[in-house]
Structure formats: structure tokens, C-alpha cells
Amino acid sequence: MNISRRSFVAASLAAPFAFPSLLNIRTGRPWKNEKIRIAKVGCGGMGSSDLSEVAKHKSVEIVALCDIDRRQLDVLRLGSKDKDGKVIAPLFASAVAFADWREMYAKMSDKFDAVVVSTADHMHAPIAMEALNRGKHVYCQKPLAQGAYENRRLAAVAASKPSLVTQMGTQRIATKWRRYGGKLLRDGAIGPVKEIYAWTNRPAGWWPQGNPRPEGSDPIPEWLSWDLFLGVAPVRPFKDGYTPFNWRGTIDWGTGAFGDMGCHMLDVPFYELQLGRPLTAYCTPVKPSTDQFPESESVVLTYAATPKTSKSGLTLKWFDGGQFPDFKAIGLPTGWEGGKGGEDVVKGDGGVILVGEQGIMWFPIDSAWARIFVDGKAVELKPEDLKSSNHWHDWIDACLAGKKDACASPFEKAGPMCESLSIGAMSSLDPGKTLQYDEASCTFTNSPVASAMLKRTYPSGWKVENL
């Protein structure tokens, strides 16, 4: 029995009719004034936002930093200089630095209580799962994991650990309008939902997709641990430009535009409509690349009925890279915004439209507002009672308060949604064919090539308990 399980049992015995107060994993007692000690994996890009947001919380201490790019660690621990040569003091001088998260876990596991993961997608599952295995609370960036099976396992293991609090990094779900949209769906504002349309203008112009694998290799920079970036992905030679950021369009490391942006738009619909796993996935024929996701695609996923959908079930239609739904056919009125609206406003950077039996609901990608249309007319919405919150601090507060259920995107909810996103993304590896998803095995029954990425085999030497 691990310490966290023992703590939970003790709390349950002490207060059998109350929600068990979460105990400090370190002391075995309820949290008081001591700080929650955090280890941060992946410190550049979104990792830097994650780090600064969690560090702003008064009860947080950053004790360990891990990155495969030594430059990221040096800035945080040793400081930097601005363009005029002025010295900028380090933010986390006393944190211990690591290139390899496994070494960090092995050497410091007794010195931190929680882990924040912001690496490339393909490493989310091993790093987050090993944190759960070691009894740590986890905040993991979206998508929760790259493969369907990894998402399934993270959700199941998080559910089996009553004393651990988890949150996926989809901070937009903490906005007032997204909360309000969720409430409207819960209250049945548009009736049973029959279709979801979601679209993003990415990847075009944001990161490369649709290209063949680059030839040759470049020298590995002295600051980069390339083998650790690869981690559980197949070995390949280093090329300039793979990391940071651009990795997300490559099949070995990312989830393409669907997995990347779908999380921000589909979380509220998934959680509120209680969608399960898709029955089928179909990706339109795309320009083939065996190395990257397509530069443009549309994908259809079908779902069985839930109490919140039409009796015949629900269809999710995804569009990216310059493809869009037919807004007029959906029934969304154009020009409704005082004449300034029309398709360009609707398209924006992306968005999601839910078609219900009694109305249509629309969120833009940034969740700055929600709209409902009934019989072609906009309904006035007033989310006065709801406030936005800080998604990172919601997680820390939930860790401190022992409220496992207080987070908006716990792994138990995020896992099933990201399983769907993985299925959608990987359907592009076998386009132009209706793929049948087998929920029990987390694979397609009629596509070995796409199934290999839904449930990937880690290279020898990589074994993570529970994955």
C-alpha cells in the first residue's frame, strides 16, 4: 500500500460521513501552512506559462525543474541578460535541475508532492503515469496523451487513486462563458444534441504538416538531449527545427491540428453530453505523408446515444487547415451581428457549433462568449452569476482542500475526450475509409496502420507501470 492510499484510508476512518480531507502526502496530516512542492517537466513554451501560473500561488514551492533543453533550465536557475546586457535574476535559483524526468523521479520523489507536465504530446502519458504511480498530484497539458490507450489508462489510474487530484491543461474551460455554456447544455437549452461541428484554421501557417520526412541529419546541439526528447517514440536522426514547438504536426510526437486544438473546443460538449467512445471514424482523402498529419482534413466521428443526445446518437464533424463546415446548411444565421457578421466572423480562428433538436449553440475558439439561436434568432444570454477562475490555481486549491472532484478537467473526464481526439487524429493515417473502433481493445478493427498509433508499442528499455 502506498502512502497516499494509506492517507486516504486514515481520513475515511476519521470522518466516515464527510468527504475525506486530502492529506499532505509528505506529513500524512491535513495541509496547513506548508507549501505544496512541485516538480516541473518541460519548462519552455506553454511550460513556461504553466510554471509562472502555478508559481504565483502563495502555497506553491517549485523544487525541481526538468527539460531536455538545457537553455531553458539555465534561464530559470542561473538567470539571463536582456538585450542591453542587464542581468535578469533567476526565478528558481534553488530548484534542482534535470534533463531526464526518470532521474528526477528516482532521486527526488520524496521531495515533491505534485508534477506539472508540459512536454511534447508523446511523452505526456509516461511522465504523468509515473507521477500517479508515485502518489503525486498531476497537472498535464492537453491533449492528455497521444494514443487512445494511454488516455484510457491515465483516466482509469487517476480514478483509482482517491487521494490524488488531476487536471488537464485546458485553461479556457475556467472562463465564465465556457462555464455558462456548460450550464446551458446541462439545462437542455438546445434540447437533445444531434450534431457537433468544430473547426480550426490550424495547422496552416502555425506549424508544418503534410510534409515528407526530412532527409539526412543535423548535428545535435550541445544543449539538447535528443534521445530524451524521443523518449518512447521511434529513434530517428536529429534535424534542426524539430523541437521546440514544430514537433506537433509529426505523427511520432504530436496529434496534429485535431488533437492540438480539439481539446480547447470539445471539452465542454464532451463533458456535458457524456459522450463515450466513437463507433466509427472517417477522414476524407488527404494528401498522403507517412511522417506528418495532413495539412488539411475533415473527419467524421459517430457516437451512440446518451441521455443528452438525440435518440439516434450524435455525429461530430471536424475541419482543419482551411476546411470549414457549411454554416448556412447548419442553420446558423449569417449577418446576425448588426450586419457586421457573416461567414468571416463565424470562421474566426476556429469554433464549435452544437446542433440540438431545439436550437443551435456556438462557442468561438477563445471562449470569449457563447451564443444560442432558436428558430434563427439569437437568444439573450446573461452569465452574471458565473465568474472565470484560474485553472492552475483551481488544481492547487483542490490539492490543498482534498477536493478531487473540484477540478473542471480531471483525467477521468479528459481521458475519454482525448481518446476520441486521438481516434480522430489517427484516422488520417488510413483516409477515405470508415474505420470501426473497438472500445475494448482501443484499436480499429479494420486498420492496422492507424491502430498502431492508437495503442503504440514503446521501444525496448521503456516500461512504465500501468501503461
Quick one: the chain helix, strand, coil %, rounded to 5? Answer: 35, 20, 45
Non-local (6+) Cβ contacts of 208 within 8 A are 246, 249, 292
Stretch that binds ligand NAD, among 238-246, 306-314, 365-373, 424-432 (CB under 6 A): 238-246
Stretch that binds ligand NAD, among 22-30, 37-45, 269-277, 325-333 (CB under 6 A): 37-45
Q: At what angle do helices 148-159 and 124-133 cross, to 10 degrees?
A: 20
Q: Which of residues 400-429 bind ligand NAD (CB under 6 A)?
A: none
Q: How far is the CB of 140 from ligand NAD (least distance, A)?
A: 8
In the list 30, 34, 35, 46, the residue contacting ligand NAD (rule: CB under 6 A) is: 46
3-class DSSP state for residue 38? strand
372 vs 408 by CB, closer to ligand NAD: 408
Q: How far is the CB of 98 from ligand NAD (least distance, A)?
A: 8
Query: 483525467: which residue's cell?
Result: 411
String marking each residue 71-100 x if it binds ligand NAD according to CB under 6 A? -x----------------------------
Residue 41 as a binder of ligand NAD (CB under 6 A): the answer is yes
Are the C-beta atoms of 297 and 285 separated by less than 8 Å?
no
Residue 47 as a binder of ligand NAD (CB under 6 A): the answer is yes
Non-local (6+) Cβ contacts of 400 within 8 A are 22, 31, 36, 59
> Would you call the peptide bond into 90 cis, given omega within 30 degrees of 0 as the criterion?
no
Residue 163 as a binder of ligand NAD (CB under 6 A): the answer is no
The H or E element that residue 72 is part of is helix 70-78
3-class DSSP state for residue 73? helix
Q: What is the distance between the alpha carbons of residues 347 and 158, in angstroms, rounded to a whole number?
A: 37
Q: Exposed (0-12), middle (13-18) or buried (19+): which is 432, by Cβ within 10 Å? A: exposed
Q: Give the nearest residue (CB) to ligand NAD.
A: 45
Stretch that binds ligand NAD, among 21-29, 51-59, 163-171, 311-319 (CB under 6 A): 163-171
228 vs 423 by CB, closer to ligand NAD: 228
Q: How far is the CB of 38 from ligand NAD (least distance, A)?
A: 15
Q: Which of residues 213-232 bind ligand NAD (CB under 6 A)?
A: 228-229, 231
Are the C-beta atoms of 141 and 168 separated by less than 8 Å?
yes
Count of residues near ligand NAD by CB under 6 A: 30
Q: How far is the CB of 245 from ligand NAD (least distance, A)?
A: 4
Residue 45 as a binder of ligand NAD (CB under 6 A): the answer is yes
In the list 53, 69, 150, 297, the residue contacting ligand NAD (rule: CB under 6 A) is: 69
Q: How far is the CB of 460 from ligand NAD (least distance, A)?
A: 18
Residue 67 as a binder of ligand NAD (CB under 6 A): the answer is yes
Residue 118 as a binder of ligand NAD (CB under 6 A): the answer is yes
Q: Exposed (0-12), middle (13-18) or buried (19+): which is 338, by Cβ within 10 Å? A: exposed
Residue 129 as a binder of ligand NAD (CB under 6 A): the answer is no
68 vs 286 by CB, closer to ligand NAD: 68
Are the C-beta atoms of 261 and 320 separated by less than 8 Å?
yes
Q: What is the distance between the alpha carbons of residues 181 and 205, in angstroms, rounded to a whole number?
A: 30
Residue 141 as a binder of ligand NAD (CB under 6 A): the answer is yes
20 vs 231 by CB, closer to ligand NAD: 231
Q: How far is the CB of 90 from ligand NAD (least distance, A)?
A: 16
How far the first Cα of the chain sits from its last, in Å, is: 19
- The closest alpha carbon to 198, from 285, 279, 262, 280, belongs to 262
Residue 315 as a binder of ligand NAD (CB under 6 A): the answer is no
Q: How far is the CB of 52 from ligand NAD (least distance, A)?
A: 13
Residue 367 as a binder of ligand NAD (CB under 6 A): the answer is no
449 C-beta neighbours (distance < 10 Å), count = 11
Q: How far is the CB of 231 from ligand NAD (least distance, A)?
A: 5
45-to-27, 51, 69, 170, 353 alpha-carbon distances in Å: 34, 10, 11, 15, 29
Residue 383 as a binder of ligand NAD (CB under 6 A): the answer is no
Non-local (6+) Cβ contacts of 69 within 8 A are 44, 223, 224, 243, 244
In the list 66, 76, 360, 417, the residue contacting ligand NAD (rule: CB under 6 A) is: 66
| Binding site residues, ligand NAD, CB under 6 A | 41-47, 66-69, 72, 101, 118-121, 123, 141-142, 169-171, 228-229, 231, 243-245, 260
